[in-house]
Structure 1
């Protein structure tokens, strides 16, 4: 379809909201969100007034003399995003109104979300986290260690209980996000995903962009808030009920699992919950990509990431983020070196003698179950990767 200087364009219904530095534009058809500077918003407003591209470009050049205004190029960009409805009265693509919301866990009432996430509860979660840190400082022997998961004599029992407990705690983490989303009346859901080589559950938080920046923090930190409660409860059980071997052992498992998960939240190079907190505070929504490109000067093995044109003023956030990016990598290496690898080696040494036992021996099957878990985790990881590939292709 031909586009010329006197063309008139209509766009999809858009919802535009001021953000920290620029504007968030929501496509009411697709539900997708885009960040745009003020010059683009003024262009959209003039398009809505029915002005042709030549007139719009003239007005914008007067308003923004330091901007490189190119309306034809801008419309081409909007076409690529699927935001253009018609050009000179001719429909670009057949579009229908979006269907009514039929998903997003609407059966969870907003009151339930607001009970767990409000101003008072935020202070409680912070106090609980600080109390846990205080307990670990006063009683360093309670600090989580990789041997904490070896509660039972048989490895299969340790594996089954630890994986089941970890799964339940991860679900609880995601329920925190779900409740925080529902507290704002937003639809959401939980799906399977991955961070590098780690299988994770992910809460759909795409609708968080409908909120002002200051109201997003609670939603991003909701999972960590529930983690803080779990860690505190696990430490209390160890403090007050040490004579109950099984209960204290399960509490150690829970503390270990939760502590590692909190550490991984600090690995902001994987776009964790804390990454989105930093991103929201900075107002720079290509922070990770720009940080990677900045670090490639010294770490050329990092992949080059193509990003849209950087907005002025965002550069000051790239260097601090690059520092935290490297800190996150070091945390990952430390967890691998001091927790994951010693745990796997220790467990393997305990179960390896089982392979020399007959197939009728419980020790033989104990060893089989231990190595079977790696096959299952690899399968889940491949499923997550293939799903992401299908969605992106």
Structure 2
């Protein structure tokens, strides 16, 4: 404290309905304050002495405030600056690629995206063989070639998907970074956007949806290339078949976003639209409480007061969508994973059981080894993530670091 006041770090104040989200962009520590609490914090940030702040609050709101408790909360959130701490250091450097982010989501860019998607849609209505189908994965007989092309061919597509998230965030001047992680049985790349809660709610939708926008454009582009590179007799060339195989993986990635229990990009859209801070856990617990009440097992009920009234109100309607997320998983399993797996092992079995140690035999063996290596990588990532979760401390405020896959 200095002169009976508090030294505070630079804070952002973003109105959210009847509340205000306050936080530090540099650390990602954010919390939701009622309007009167936010106004009180603004006075402290302006350097008003504590005694004067207490008098101002009593005059403005007609009641006394427990400043000791309020200040203790600010310390817990890391909003208070130690006397010897520097205010913020030198001004942060401008976020890189901000111009490119603005260009990527400019009106001309949107016109190009719509033209590609519209052209692909029109082509599919004329040539139904362009429509995504699991059999398109096996564009050649060699399982190893299929495995390598699908595995490494997806890398630039995944980076492009995450690149759109990054550009959408940097367009707003927010720092972003990319990391590889896993969710359940999937290895994924994630974009972390620090400080997204520091911008108005309406501006958060594009960073959440940018990856899906990219997937739609990539799907359309690959489909158009496949249609344009047909053989003279109308059959697909090798280039066309590779494009369709990669396009099918893009479709699966879009369908994956509907598994809302994984906190996918669409989950963040729903949480933002509902003006919620922990919609996933609130919706899940409310759904479980409803189930326990129906089963008459009241001892299993969880205290619902730990979530905000808004989270509880929206969570009642969101719970069924979590169930639909599991239905999406079932649909992907039945209509995508199972057919692809059956065809894959059918080809591998024929090659290995043929009795000939030839190119097809070694092709199948090496392909199975590549699959085993991917499973091993998934196990390592899963263990690392569980270890990080055990070592991390519980958060007392909404995080401003959003992970988009």
1:59 aligns with 2:58: yes
Residue 174 in 1 paired to residue 162 in 2? yes
SS for the counterpart of 1:338 is: helix
Q: Does 1:374 align with 2:371?
A: yes
Name the residue aligned to 1:15.
12
Residue range with higher mean Cα deviation, 356-365 or 97-106: 97-106
The match for 2:256 is 264
Aligned to 1:348: 345
Change (3 A) 1:127 1:284: farther
Query: Is 1:226 the counterpart of 2:214 in the alignment?
Result: yes
Output one character per residue of 1:185-232: Cα deviation in whole Å (capped at 9) or x when no partner: 332221102222211111121232332222222222221122111111
Q: Distance in 2 between matches of 1:123 and 1:99?
A: 42
Residue among 256, 274, 288 paired with 2:280: 288
| Cα distance in 1 for residues equivalent to 2:338 and 2:52 | 61
3-state SS of paired residue (2:166): helix
> Is contact 1:176–1:222 with CA below 8 Å preserved after alignment?
yes
Q: Offset at 1:52?
A: 4.9
Q: How much has 1:327 moved relative to structure 2?
A: 1.9
Change (3 A) 1:308 1:316: closer
For 1:50-93, what per-residue CA distance to the aligned partner results, in whole angstroms no more than 9, with x for missing partners?
A: 22599479739x7388xx9755544444343333446xxxx6xx
Per-residue deviation, 1:283 = 1.3
Corresponding residue to 1:81 among 70, 77, 81: 77
Report the counterpart of residue 229 of structure 2 in structure 1: 241
| Offset at residue 337 of structure 1 (A) | 1.1
Question: Which residue of structure 1 aligns with residue 133 of structure 2?
Answer: 145
The CA distance in 2 between the partners of 1:299 and 1:371, in whole Å, is 42
SS in structure 2 opposite 1:191? strand
Q: 1:322 is matched with which residue: 314, 319, 327?
A: 319
Task: Give me the whole-angstrom Cα distance separating, in 2, the residues matched to 1:217 and 1:354.
Answer: 49
Tell me, in whole angstroms, the C-alpha distance in 2 between the residues paired with 1:126 and 1:314: 35
Q: Which residue of 2 aligns with 1:41?
A: 38
How many angstroms does 1:292 deviate by? 0.7
* Distance apart, 1:166 and its partner CA: 1.6
- Residues 193 and 201, structure 1, Cα contact 8 Å, conserved in 2: yes
> What are structure 2's unaligned runs of at least 5 residues?
392-405
CA RMSD between the two structures: 3.6
What's the counterpart of residue 210 of structure 1?
198
Instruction: Give distance in 2, aligned partners of 1:357 and 1:102.
Output: 65
Which residue pairs with 1:186 in the alignment?
174
Q: In structure 2, what is the equivalent of residue 157 of structure 1? A: 145
In structure 1, runs of 5+ residues without a counterpart are 1-6
Q: Which moved more, 1:70-79 or 1:23-32?
A: 70-79
Q: Deviations over 1:334-359 (max 9, x none)?
A: 00111012211220121124445789
Alpha-carbon distance in structure 2 between the residues aligned to 1:250 and 1:72: 65
Alignment match, 1:3: none
